[in-house]
Structure 1
Amino acid sequence: MTDRQNDAPGGPRNSETRAWSLYGEELSPGAQVGGYVVEGTRYRGSVSTLYRAKDARSGTPAALKVMHPQFAAARSALRRFQQEAETLKRLRHRHIVDVLEHGTLADGRPFIAMEWLEGRDLAAELAARGPFSAREALELLEQVGSALRAAHGAGVVHRDLKAQNVVVLAGEAGPRVKLVDFGVAKLLAPEEPGSAMMTSTGMVLGTPLSMAPEQIRGETPDARTDLYGLGVLLYQLVTGQPPFQGTTQIELEEQHLHAPVPRASERAPVPAALDAVVGRCLEKKREDRYPDVDAVLEDLRRAVRGEKQGRATQVRALGLYVEARMGVLVDDATLDAVDALMEHVRERADAVGLRVMVEGSSFLLGVTALPDEADAEREARRRVLELALALAEEPARGEGTARVSLSPTLHVDTATLRPDASGRPALGGGRLLRLSAWTGDHPGRGVVVTETALEGLEDTFQVEVLPGREGLRHVTRNEA
């Protein structure tokens, strides 16, 4: 806006009028949101509006999602939005959209700034090219499953898995996908008094074409809710249409709740074994579905490839979770220190045979299968515990309130062992990757170790019980 425009007949425009033109219910080009400047509107959804924006300093394009005012009024919605956005900001995965920043506008509307993806979603791909073959669908769902595995391991449930939320990017080695729009339904779950009326609309609990029965009933979604969405997506990829369709939302909900699952093999040239995978994903009771995404992919691979051998097995595995703890002040120097520390952790983890399974900007999880022989198993745990102690004893980097230190946690649980693409055994999912079950508050010194990881090593180290944390121990080195 130029001075000449302000000097137009009628006098200078009121600053509030100018602000409303930029920051009304729909943001106009030039509006500043956090560190980003709006360039234009790209999509108007029922819950939020998506804008193309650019970084105010670097000019790098970004996607900016701003929630509509009517949904931003609930305090619980804002709280959950902020918690979810912060978790996703820390969760870095090649098949999950990167969250760059989150916050609220002056009027309280929350926003999330994400990386800009040059591509189109799977719904658009289907419309443009028609159904995928079973093998093509498997290649895509391997990537979607990898994203879900990482999210579920960090305690995040997507809740709105559908073709529109999977973006396809062109790549030299074939199409690569990224999962977007985490947590929209959770964000709008009715916890505030008087908000129960919102449950009558699909935009609150999910997308009507892919809503799991528990979402329709108003129950709390969990990881198995995403497996229902994965089954809907699989069916839609190979047939070109969702399994349940109707002219009204009530009709759709009734089908999700009560109708038998149609057979994909009756509508597309796919193996009949694929029907069983879709059917188990779409079980009405979540306890009848697959236990996790790895089990879905295992059966899907066999159905598509006709595999008879190489079933996954459950093994005992050791997990080392290391988080970089930052002081009150976080600036560029602090973030550089975090990057350097985490790179150091990766190198040390690799040196003792740990494979990094989950990684974020300030944390990682390294995993290794444990030997069957008791002495060798105990020695493997001791060796990794020694590494954890060495990491905890690393001098804090940075100065004053910007200091950064490492907080390791050690746990033993089951993990999935299956052949990789070359036929060699490789670790996948399992209970060990459910980080929310065994990571949490850390005292800030030493190592937190679960009873299963410490068994037989109690006399080797200084061990204290963590107050109020059943099954967790605080371990430091024995004093000489």
Structure 2
Amino acid sequence: MTDGQDDSRGTPRASEARAWSLYGEELSPGAQVGGYIVEGTRYRGSVSTLYRAKEARSGAPAALKVMHPQFAAARSALRRFQQEAETLKRLKHRHIVDVLEHGTLADGRPFIAMEWLEGRDLAAELAARGPFSARETLELLEQVGSALKAAHGAGVVHRDLKAQNVVVLAGEGAPRVKLVDFGVAKLLAPEEHPGAVMTSTGMVLGTPLSMAPEQIRGETPDARTDLYGLGVLLYQLVTGQPPFQGTTQVELEEQHLHAPVPRASERAPVPAALDAVVGRCLEKRREDRYADVDAVLVELRRAVQGERQGRTTQVRALGLYVEARMGVLVDDATLDAVDAMMEHARERADAVGLKVMVEGSSFLLGVAALPDGADAEREARRRVLELALALAEEPARGAGTARVRLTPTLHLDTATLRPDASGRPALGGGRLLRLSAWTGGHPGQGVVVTEAALAGLEDTFQVEVLPGREGLCHVTRHAA
């Protein structure tokens, strides 16, 4: 039997089998979608899958969003997906992802081809580097606000503004962002689009962590709904966490509907004027919020510029990043060991004057401003390096492949010194808190120190330059 023929038992043709292998529920590399060739799967969501692809003629990278087969026949889901494509085609803006093409596959599945954004979303950026300073946040929200203003001007409400839907583009210089995922966007029209997700409080679309009260109540959104999301994002960028958190969706909804807005200045070194901006964005009644995006940005600029006028300084500061590395097996005993070791690391950091500014379940960042004078500064760095070595030398906890070890990294860079809510000087953002720039080169054992933090201490410890990792050194004690 040759390819392309059926045998007497009804075996599928080889070409059909190959088509199924390429165009099954998940598209395989080589599948052609419109003018694009699939290269691989990047993210599988509940309704659609995102693929990396290339333009068939030029080879230029692209992102393909393809609806899952089981939803292609659902009128409401199909309408939402097609609406996203049409919405993005209308919104040509430097801070909104570009649509290149849209259409349907042979089996009826719709797709959207978009520009490929090299970078990571703001949620991943926050997880990697910690909170942003007020000034950095303003620079980011100027761009997000510009995108929202363009959308509102075109009669579109995003309705799902959150850190995961803002992509920070890779590259040098000041961060540049693009707004993505208009999958639940709504045209500013009288009729309500069907197909919303049912919750305990009504028909709503959006993400619980950033959902406006009117969305929870199932009311028709307008541009002020996005201002609520902008306030949530503002709070999250400067504090590292959303203003409202809960263990269930119902608990989150109750907080958005009834809980007072927490003050960002109580959790981060930002001016009290910024609290007022967050508070007005997060008013429960949309009538009490700002009138539009421009009004938000005007007040945010005033808050940040007031902070900058003679009240902030840049200081040299030392950062100690400690991460608990776990083995292959992770069970309850392993997680208990991680908790105990991180609590011990926190206590030791506090004892040498390090303020823990960023903390997660398996990592923390302790920061201290360095004293004036070369000798005093060198002694401060030596003391923190000794702590890092002590943490790295502690016996691993756990058993077998579940053993946990601490891996410290030490760096010196600039940080911002500004008054806290009580008026006392406090360390804030700055280059030192950009963790992704200096915490990614640890080999998994011992202490890693950047050249800036090690300067003048090379003779005190055993130093080995890490191959292929410019500016990073592996440091141990001199042999006795």
Query: Could you state the TM-score of these two structures normalised by the residue count of structure 2?
Result: 0.59
- Which region of structure 1 is more displaced relative to structure 2, 223-232 or 407-416? 407-416
Structure 1 window deviating more from structure 2 (303-312 vs 93-102): it is 303-312
> Judging changes above 3 Å, is the alpha-carbon distance between structure 1 residues 344 and 40 closer, same or farther for their aligned structure 2 residues?
same
Partners of 1:454 and 1:154 in 2: CA distance: 54
Q: Mean Cα displacement is larger for which, 192-201 or 464-473? A: 464-473
Kindly provide the CA deviation profile for residues 2-42 of structure 1, in whole angstroms up to 9, marking residues without a partner as x: 97999999977454433332222222212211111111110
Alpha-carbon distance in structure 1 between the residues aligned to 2:224 and 2:196: 24
Q: Residue 6 of structure 1: SS of its match in structure 2? A: coil
1:225 CA drift (Å):
1.2
CA distance in 1, matches of 2:195, 2:36: 32
CA distance in 1 between partners of 2:139 and 2:400 (Å)? 49
d(CA) in 1 for partners of 2:129 and 2:353? Answer: 44
Q: Give deviations 1:154-191, integer Å, cap 9, x for gaps.
A: 11211111111111113444111111111335499999
Contact 1:319 1:432 in 2 (8 A): yes
Q: Single out whichever of 228-237 and 323-332 deviates more from structure 2.
A: 323-332
Contact preservation (8 Å) 2:324, 2:405: yes
CA, structure 1 residues 270+433, in 2 after alignment: closer, same or farther (shift >3 Å)?
closer
When structure 1 is superposed on structure 2, of 370-379 and 229-238 the one drifting more is 370-379
* Contact 1:62–1:116 under 8 Å retained in 2: yes
TM-aligned CA distance change 1:454 to 1:176, over 3 Å: closer
Distance of aligned partners of 1:215 and 1:7 in 2 relative to their CA distance in 1, 3 Å threshold = same
Q: Cα distance, 1:232 vs. partner?
A: 0.6
- 1:258 Cα offset (Å): 1.2
Moved more, 42-51 or 420-429: 420-429
Decide whether aligned partners of structure 1 residues 87 and 432 sit closer, same or farther in structure 2, where only a CA change above 3 A counts. Answer: farther
User: Structure 1 pair 423/42, CA: closer, same or farther in 2 (3 Å)?
Assistant: same
Identify the residue that residue 124 of structure 1 maps to in structure 2: 124
Verify the 8 A CA contact 1:190 1:196 in the aligned structure 2. no
SS in 1 for 2:203: helix
Identity of paired residues, percent?
A: 91
Q: Secondary structure at the match of 2:397?
A: coil
Which one is further off, 18-27 or 128-137?
A: 18-27
**What is the rounded CA distance, in whole Å, between the counterparts of 2:474 and 2:90 in structure 1?**
25
Secondary structure of 2:26's aligned partner: coil
Q: Which moved more, 1:386-395 or 1:224-233?
A: 386-395
Distance 2:345 2:109 in 1: 38
CA distance in 2, matches of 1:101, 1:76: 21
Residue 140 of structure 1 aligns to a residue whose secondary structure is: helix
Q: How does 1:227-376 map to 2 (within 5 A)?
A: 227-306=227-306
Q: CA deviation at 1:117?
A: 0.7
Q: Report the TM-score when normalising by structure 1.
A: 0.59
Q: Describe the shift of the 1:39–1:198 C-alpha distance in structure 2 as closer, same or farther (beyond 3 A).
A: farther
Mapped to 1, the partners of 2:409 and 2:31 lie a distance apart of 43
User: Are the counterparts in 2 of residues 121 and 166 from structure 1 also a CA contact under 8 Å?
Assistant: yes
Aligned match of 2:403: 403
* Larger-Rg structure: 2
Cα offset, 1:361, TM superposition: 47
Separation in 1 of the partners of 2:106 and 2:333?
A: 29
Q: Does 1:158 align with 2:145?
A: no
1:458 partner SS = coil
Once the two structures are TM-superposed, the CA of residue 469 in structure 1 deviates from its matched residue by 66
Change beyond 3 A, Cα 1:167–1:389: closer
Give how far 1:47 is off: 2.8
Check conservation: 2:212, 2:225, Cα contact below 8 A.
yes
C-alpha deviation, 1:71, in angstroms? 3.8
Local SS of the residue matching 1:324: strand
CA–CA separation in structure 2 for the residues paired with 1:113 and 1:340: 48
Q: 1:30 to 1:81 in 2, by over 3 A?
A: same
User: Which moves more between the two structures, 118-127 or 42-51?
Assistant: 42-51
* Larger mean Cα displacement after TM superposition, 469-478 or 351-360: 469-478
How far has the Cα of 1:418 moved from its partner?
Answer: 27
Q: Deviations over 1:375-403 (max 9, x none)?
A: 99999999999999999999999999999
Structure 1 unpaired stretches of 5+ = none
For 2:175, the equivalent position in structure 1 comes to: 175
Stretch moving more, 282-291 or 360-369 = 360-369
Offset of residue 53 of structure 1: 0.8
The structural deviation recorded for 1:279 is: 0.8
- Aligned 8 A contact 2:210 2:232 in 1: yes
The farther-off stretch of 331-340 and 184-193 is 331-340
Asked if structure 1 preserves the Cα contact closer than 8 Å seen for 2:324 and 2:338, the reply is yes
State the shift of 1:199 in Å. Answer: 4.7
RMSD in angstroms over aligned alpha carbons?
Answer: 18.6
- When residues 428 and 204 of structure 1 are mapped into structure 2, their CA distance, relative to the original with a 3 A threshold, is farther
Give the conservation status (yes or no) of the 8 Å contact 1:186–1:205.
no
Query: Aligned-pair distance for 1:335?
Result: 59
Point out the more displaced range, 284-293 or 453-462.
Answer: 453-462
CA contact (8 A) 1:449 1:475 kept: yes
CA contact (8 A) 2:129 2:436 kept: no
Specify whether residues 371 and 80 from structure 1 end up closer, same or farther in structure 2 by C-alpha distance, changes over 3 A only. Answer: farther
Kept in 2: contact 1:165–1:180 (CA 8 A): yes
The change in CA–CA distance for 1:254 and 1:395 in structure 2 (over 3 A counts) is closer
* Residue matched to 2:471: 471
1:187-229 CA-to-partner distances (Å, cap 9, x unmatched) read 9999999956645699961111111112112222221111111
Q: Please give the per-residue CA displacement for 1:260-302, whole angstroms capped at 9, x wherever unaligned.
A: 1111010000001111111111111111111110000000011
Given that 2:197 and 2:204 are in contact with CA atoms closer than 8 Å, whether structure 1 keeps it comes out as: no
Shift of 1:351: 66
Query: What's the offset of the Cα at 1:67?
Result: 2.2
Mapped contact 1:155–1:436 kept (Cα < 8 A): no
Residue 438 (str. 1) matches residue 438 (str. 2): yes
Show CA shifts across 1:219-261 (max 9, x none). 2222111111111110000000011111111111111111111
State the distance in 1 between where 2:122 and 2:352 align. Answer: 40
Distance 1:389 1:234, change over 3 A: closer
Q: Secondary structure at the match of 1:106?
A: coil
Q: Which stretch has the larger CA shift, 42-51 or 379-388?
A: 379-388
How far is the alpha carbon of 1:441 from its aligned partner? 58
Cα distance in 2 for partners of 1:36, 1:187 equals 29
Post-superposition CA distance 1:50-70 (Å, at most 9, x none): 110111111111011122344
Do the aligned partners of 1:294 and 1:428 also contact (CA within 8 Å) in 2?
Answer: no
* Distance of 1:35 and 1:322 partners within structure 2: 47
Local SS of the residue matching 2:409:
strand
Answer with 401-410 or 132-141: which moved more: 401-410
63-72 or 10-19, which deviates more: 10-19
State the alpha-carbon separation in 1 of the partners of residues 298 and 285 from structure 2.
21
Would the aligned equivalents of 1:49 and 1:68 in 2 still touch at CA under 8 Å?
Answer: yes
Q: Which has the higher mean CA deviation after the structures are superposed, 410-419 or 2-11?
A: 410-419
Contact 2:270–2:420, Cα closer than 8 Å, also in 1: no
- Cα contact 2:280–2:290 (8 A) shared by 1: yes
Unaligned runs of 5+ in 2: none
- Of stretches 53-62 and 6-15 in structure 1, the one that deviates more from structure 2 is 6-15
Distance (whole Å) between structure 1 residues aligned to residue 362 and residue 268 of structure 2: 45
Contact 1:273/1:303, CA 8 A, preserved across alignment? yes
Q: Higher mean Cα deviation, 348-357 or 123-132?
A: 348-357
Distance 1:46 1:319, change over 3 A: same
Q: 457-466 vs 174-183, which deviates more?
A: 457-466
Q: Would the alpha carbon gap of residues 413 and 173 (structure 1) be closer, same or farther in structure 2, given more than 3 Å must change?
A: closer
Helix, strand or coil for the counterpart of 1:255?
A: helix
**CA gap 1:442/1:220 in 2 versus in 1, 3 angstroms:** farther
